[in-house]
Amino acid sequence: MSFRFVHTADLHLDAPLTAIALRDPDLAREVGVASRTAFSRIVDLCISEDAAFLLIAGDLWDGEHSSTKTPRFLKQELLRLKEAGIRCFVIRGNHDALARQTGELDAPDNTTLFAGRPSTAEIEVDGHPIAIHGLSFRDPHAPESLLSRYPAAKPGAFNIGMMHTSLNGSPGHDPYAPCSTGDLDGHGYHYWALGHVHRRAQHLGRATIVMPGIPQGRDIGEAGPTSVTLVDVADDNTVSLEERTVAAIRFDRLEVECSGTSDWQDLLTLLEAEIRRIGQATRAENHLVIRPVLRGATPLAWRLARDHDRLAEEARAFAAAAGIWIDKLELRLNADDEGTIVTPGLPGELAGMMLNDLPQDPGLEAALVSAARELLRDLPPDARDILGQEEGELPPRCRELLLEGIPSTLARLAGDKAI
């Protein structure tokens, strides 16, 4: 008999939203409960689709950040699965290894939390034998491949491996239990339920290998659609996949082309129209948070950089009228056809050095990272995630801030010489 299950990972319950909170407390409150909403919707999906079980491939929690209400919430959701006759299988990821709730959770008997030694849960669904292999960790670091520790496939069963891994690496993620899809493909399992990387990916070979991505984005760095995976397994063990959206909030960048716009009011009209357009677009999520990015060659560049605060307030007013939120407003103005920023009144060598050389300078990057570490140590504990939650996130975040700041700096250096 065929069967189906749901695969998710990286829920990051209780993830701090410091960067958002500093800009907009109301938005922070909305996003703060979004991960719980997503989990409730995952349970709803399991029930409505008559799934046999739910797989959570790591990072259910978010490290040391916790709420006393969340373990109770989680148990209630797991009990909803139990009442529907649905099993749940969980492995700990690197963030779970830091979370005290992982050890304190009084999980109902329908839930299997894999321990620090590899083990196999054998179940049967409508006469179809299934072997689920999993491995959890108490240590947040796993620099070596863990594949060799996984048991051999069980003959006659549909074999599933649950692993928290960075695979061959991903920007913004530290290496964690690295391995290749080729290695996973050759291990003999039918399906690999992965977690850790927040972008969805899948590989269809001898094994079906799925990284479902984060089900609910937490900020603009996780922009775009998010999903969980509904998996159907046929009588002959062939697998079909379906992406399902459970997020309450979607983050997106809105590119606004400003080339040729020379009047402030015309630019506001353009910005309002683009915000209204994206607000009216069809989406599965309840709420939309956008970051307008103004691009193009315009003589308004210097004025827009100078009056960035005023422009941002205008954008927020337009967004409120459209029923959406603004994360922040970003300027990428006075770029020519090749993407090079043109700054009237400044030597081309200076602009070229700042735009092209500085972002590639390893010495400057090291200095920025060092300065950022010192800054973070001086911040209050609840504000220290503003530049990321893992060491590997700090350098790319510093580069991103540098790239954001250079155009504004050039515009201000041009000063009255700007057209």
On the 0-12 / 13-18 / 19+ scale of CB atoms within 10 A, 31 is buried
Q: 56: closest CA among 21, 102, 17?
A: 102
- Asked whether residue 132 falls in the same domain as residue 275, the answer is no
Length of the chain: 419
Residue with tokens 């996949």: 241
CA distance linking residue 267 with residue 106, whole number of Å: 56
- Asked whether residue 240 falls in the same domain as residue 161, the answer is yes
- Asked whether residue 283 falls in the same domain as residue 401, the answer is no
Q: 65: closest CA among 393, 394, 389?
A: 389
CA distance linking residue 273 with residue 34, whole number of Å: 28
Among residues 324, 342, 360, the one where a domain terminates is 342
Tens digit of pLDDT per residue, the chain (419 long)?
599 999 999 998 877 666 676 677 778 778 878 999 999 999 999 999 999 999 999 988 875 555 667 888 999 999 999 999 999 999 988 766 544 555 556 789 999 999 888 999 999 999 999 999 999 876 666 768 889 999 999 999 999 999 999 887 655 556 778 889 999 999 999 999 999 999 999 999 999 999 999 999 988 889 999 999 999 999 999 999 999 999 999 999 999 999 989 999 999 999 999 999 999 998 999 999 999 999 998 889 888 988 999 999 999 999 999 999 998 999 888 754 444 455 555 565 666 677 677 788 888 888 888 888 888 888 877 677 777 767 777 888 888 888 777 766 766 666 544 33
Among residues 318, 342, 366, the one where a domain terminates is 342
pLDDT of residue 339: 47
| pTM, rounded to two decimals | 0.79
Q: How far apart are the first and last CA of the chain?
A: 72
- Asked whether residue 336 falls in the same domain as residue 400, the answer is no
Residue 391 belongs to domain spanning: 345-419
Strand spans (E) along 126-247: 128-134, 158-164, 191-195, 201-204, 208-211, 228-233, 239-244
Torsion of CA 188, 193, 197, 199, to 10 degrees: 110
- Asked whether residue 294 falls in the same domain as residue 363, the answer is no
- Asked whether residue 227 falls in the same domain as residue 308, the answer is no
CA distance linking residue 316 with residue 320, whole number of Å: 6
Adjacent-strand bridge partners of 290: 252, 326
- Asked whether residue 154 falls in the same domain as residue 288, the answer is no
pLDDT of residue 169: 62
Cβ contacts of residue 294 below 8 Å, gap of 6+? 256, 258, 271, 304, 329, 330, 331, 332, 333
Q: 207: closest CA among 218, 194, 223, 196?
A: 194
- Asked whether residue 293 falls in the same domain as residue 232, the answer is no
What CATH number did the domain enclosing 210 receive? Answer: 3.60.21.10
- Asked whether residue 180 falls in the same domain as residue 319, the answer is no
- Asked whether residue 72 falls in the same domain as residue 152, the answer is yes
Adjacent-strand bridge partners of 193: 162, 210
The domain tally of the chain equals 3
- Asked whether residue 169 falls in the same domain as residue 210, the answer is yes
CA distance linking residue 334 with residue 332, whole number of Å: 7
- Asked whether residue 37 falls in the same domain as residue 172, the answer is yes
One-character DSSP codes across 196-226: S-SS-EEEESSSEEEE---SS--SGGG-S--
Among residues 244, 273, 302, the one where a domain terminates is 244
